[in-house]
Chain A
Amino acid sequence: MNNELSAIEKTVLSDYKYGFVTEIEADEAPPGLNEDTIRFISAKKNEPEWMLEWRLKAYKHWLKMEEPTWANIKYDKINYQDIIYYSAPKQKKKVNSLDEIDPELRKTFERLGISLDEQKRLSGVAIDAVIDSVSIGTTFKEQLAELGIIFCSISEAIQEHPELVKKYIGSVVPITDNYFSALNSAVFSDGSFCYIPKGVRCPMELSTYFRINAEGTGQFERTLLIADEGSYVSYLEGCTAPIRDENQLHAAVVELIAMENAEIKYSTVQNWYPGDKDGVGGIYNFVTKRGICQGAHSKISWTQVETGSSITWKYPSVILKGDYSVGEFYSVAVTNNHQQADTGTKMMHLGKNTRSRIVSKGISAGVSNNSYRGLVHVGKNAANARNFSQCDSLLLGDKCGAHTFPYIEVKNNTGVVEHEATTSKIGEDQIFYCNQRGIDTETAVALIINGFAKEVMNQLPMEFAVEAQKLLAISLEGSVG
């Protein structure tokens, strides 16, 4: 192969790789949102009455709420009546095994580098694949079931394990929590469900892959993950969408529950379509993620690599209720061109001797805006709570912005809260140093940002770290030099 890439090839390469559309007939609800839409979704999924009631309650609450405006982001008003709230690829009625998945869909995931073929998976990663509003299949279900692990779509869980869903859904993120979580509670169409029984260490990475395909749709997925006493699970989600000049809304809710001595590691590689170089199109990623360390000595760790979306609004949080529980948040957020990100975390220290650690790395390029917003709360009874926060920003060029909004509330004076922040620029001298050693500018930028983000990247499961590194490089291609 020719080593030298032409300028054109470089541009093509730097474009969003996952922007293709799968031509497949979809079963859709008419656009717009009212009680009938919700009844339609619930009926499509053949849901029990309690689920429908819950949705309707959320909807009524949502109607009374106002879209939040406090984040450091700007966008035109969303018309919620223009959105299609349910879109499912038409498949044979019920898919009993992965072999029966429509080949077109299977191909879609192959192109995304995700094989739904269990034999083809090299490493132990079980996948739930969600396209638009529905899950199209989950791999390795049987092997996991042998250990008592439940890993399936949330729709299936509502049918098969209603007692668990009923008990935990909305227990961490109540329907009244915020505008987008209320909306999600009303119209969520699918997502993943996972339950790890007492004392079980989940032997493989669990993973959900979200894909928006249909036009005009919103994706509202709901993920619920419960780690029972003394269990461990590492979970990863990835997301992509086709290139479109419209803005599509993605408003997900993720709830995590860690019982005594349990540990949940939740990683996200978010690469929704970011919009084009002029800021046209792209996904609005308005997501509520929260975990509760319910039991003593439990641990929840969020790791996120956010490279996509035109707007990202998300604050994966941990409620540290159990004594000695630990919350962690590791984040790399990249914004380029006209992207905007307002992201961070909340660490709510309620139990005694709780600890939290926040490492946030923001990388801004182009004319983008990247904000870290974090809250560390130490409650009255949270004796000896400890938090350490490190927020670093790296700027490429001088037209982008980096902002840090740390909020600290300490109601117990035995707590120790530490915050450090730095802002730096990729220096011309760093690039030249690399150039002088034979390394071209694109590669140099990739090396420098991966160095900058290393502490976070190290938290990712091995299988995904390499992909995530490449993603960082790709999303910044062409932004320097």
Chain B
Amino acid sequence: MLSIKNLHANIDEKKILKGINLEIKPGEVHAIMGPNGSGKSTLASVLAGREHYEVTEGTVEFAGKDLLELSPEERAGEGLFLAFQYPVEIPGLSTTNFIKTAVNEVRKYRGEEALDAVAFLKLMKEKMAMVNIDQSLLSRSLNEGFSGGEKKRNEVFQMAMLQPKLAILDETDSGLDIDAIRIVANGVNKLRNKDNAVLVVTHYQRLLDYIVPDYVHVLYNGRIVKSGPKELAFELEEKGYDFIRDENKVEA
């Protein structure tokens, strides 16, 4: 479903991604771990099509299309979703109204009819239960004054509403209390099926107890330097990134 080949990307002439290779197939869960500043969020941003991130080399194919040719909103329409590490606030714009616009814009992209108020509300009720989010939060301005955990939960709620093919969760677990992690992970698991995939970016093995990955990748200095089964996460948790650093000394 997602095929990244030799991806290089710069910000302001600064090389951040230095040749990423990654294959994700439908139904799979991949985890990306790695030290601060290694390029995890940059990878997510490049995949989502953020401005000012310049791809200098490599290709990305998503659902049979050249992802890098598509605008960010087209990528969303194709089923790519990014749960942001730092969700933005938009004062005065109700969360519900925002999500309704998003759902209908994506439907429009796919040539589907817009949901009317009744259908939308029904969908919302169903997904609210799934991720345990409160109605009162959704009637407030988008992320404005939300606590860190509420923002993250709102991201997962939006994911549930948009039902993406590929969801990228960028440190969705950070800032969540233990119960919230379980709830969010449960939500993600309920949304999983054989046709969609998840890419989780996290610093903690804990989340992977709940969202069990098929593969764990270590991103270090703009490259995936190690990949392995879920046990790799335990190893990292235990040893820290030092052994990775040692292994990659020559390069760094």
Contacts and interface: CB of A to CB of B under 8 A. Distances in A.
A438 B159 CA distance: 12
A430 B90 contact: yes
Contacts of A381: none
Which 10 pairs across A and B sit closest by C-beta, in order of nearness? A451-B92, A451-B93, A438-B76, A437-B102, A435-B72, A438-B106, A454-B92, A438-B105, A433-B88, A435-B73
B93 A432 contact: no
Contacts of B99: 437
Contacts of B93: 447-448, 450-451, 454
Chain A contact patch, size range: 20 to 34
Nearest to B87: A433
Nearest to B81: A436
Contacts of B109: 3, 438
Given A435-B49, A436-B72, A452 B92 contact: yes
Contacts of A432: 48, 50-51, 72
A433 B87 CA distance: 8
Interface in B37-90: 48-51, 71-73, 75-77, 81-82, 84, 87-88, 90
11 contacts: A3-B111, A432-B72, A433-B84, A435-B49, A436-B84, A437-B76, A438-B73, A439-B102, A440-B73, A443-B101, A447-B101
B160 interface: no
Contacts of B82: 436
B92 A450 contact: yes
A440 B70 CA distance: 12
B105 A439 contact: yes
B73 A451 contact: no
A455 B51 contact: no
A429 interface: yes
A438 B77 contact: yes
A440 B92 contact: no
Given A430-B88, A438-B109, 15 more contacts: A3-B108, A427-B88, A432-B50, A432-B72, A434-B98, A434-B102, A435-B76, A436-B75, A436-B76, A437-B102, A440-B105, A447-B98, A451-B90, A452-B92, A453-B92
Interface string B156-179: 001000100000000000000000
Contacts of A439: 73, 101-102, 105
A445 to B, nearest CB: 11
Interface string A448-472: 1011111100000000000000000
B240 interface: no
A447 B101 CA distance: 9
Interface in A86-106: none
A428 interface: yes
A453 B92 CA distance: 8
Nearest to A430: B88
Contacts of A448: 90, 93
B141 interface: yes
A439 B81 CA distance: 12
Nearest to B83: A436
Nearest to B89: A430
Nearest to A455: B92
Nearest to B75: A436
Contacts of B72: 432, 435-436
A267 to B, nearest CB: 19
A436 B79 CA distance: 10
B91 interface: yes
Given A3-B108, A428-B51, A451-B141, A438 B92 contact: no
Contacts of B75: 436
Nearest to A428: B51
Nearest to B101: A439
B71 A435 contact: yes
Contacts of B77: 438
Contacts of A450: 92-93
Contacts of A437: 76, 98-99, 101-102, 105-106, 158, 162
Which of B72, B82, B99 has the most C-beta atoms of chain A within 10 angstroms of its own C-beta?
Answer: B72
B172 to A, nearest CB: 14
Contacts of B92: 450-455
A402 B88 CA distance: 24
Interface string B99-121: 10110011011010000000000
Nearest to B93: A451
A453 B90 CA distance: 12
B21 to A, nearest CB: 24
A427 B88 CA distance: 9
Contacts of A452: 91-92
A430 B101 CA distance: 15
Nearest to B74: A438
A432 B75 CA distance: 12
Interface in A288-344: none
Contacts of A434: 98, 102
Contacts of A430: 88, 90
A429 B90 CA distance: 10
Interface string A404-437: 0000000000000000000000011110111111
Nearest to B91: A451
A427 B51 CA distance: 12
A438 B88 CA distance: 16
Contact of B102 (A427, A429, A438, A451): A438
A117 B142 CA distance: 42
A450 B94 CA distance: 10
A457 B239 CA distance: 57
B54 to A, nearest CB: 15
A408 B87 CA distance: 39
B61 to A, nearest CB: 19
Nearest to B158: A437
A332 B159 CA distance: 34
Contacts of A428: 51
Nearest to A453: B92
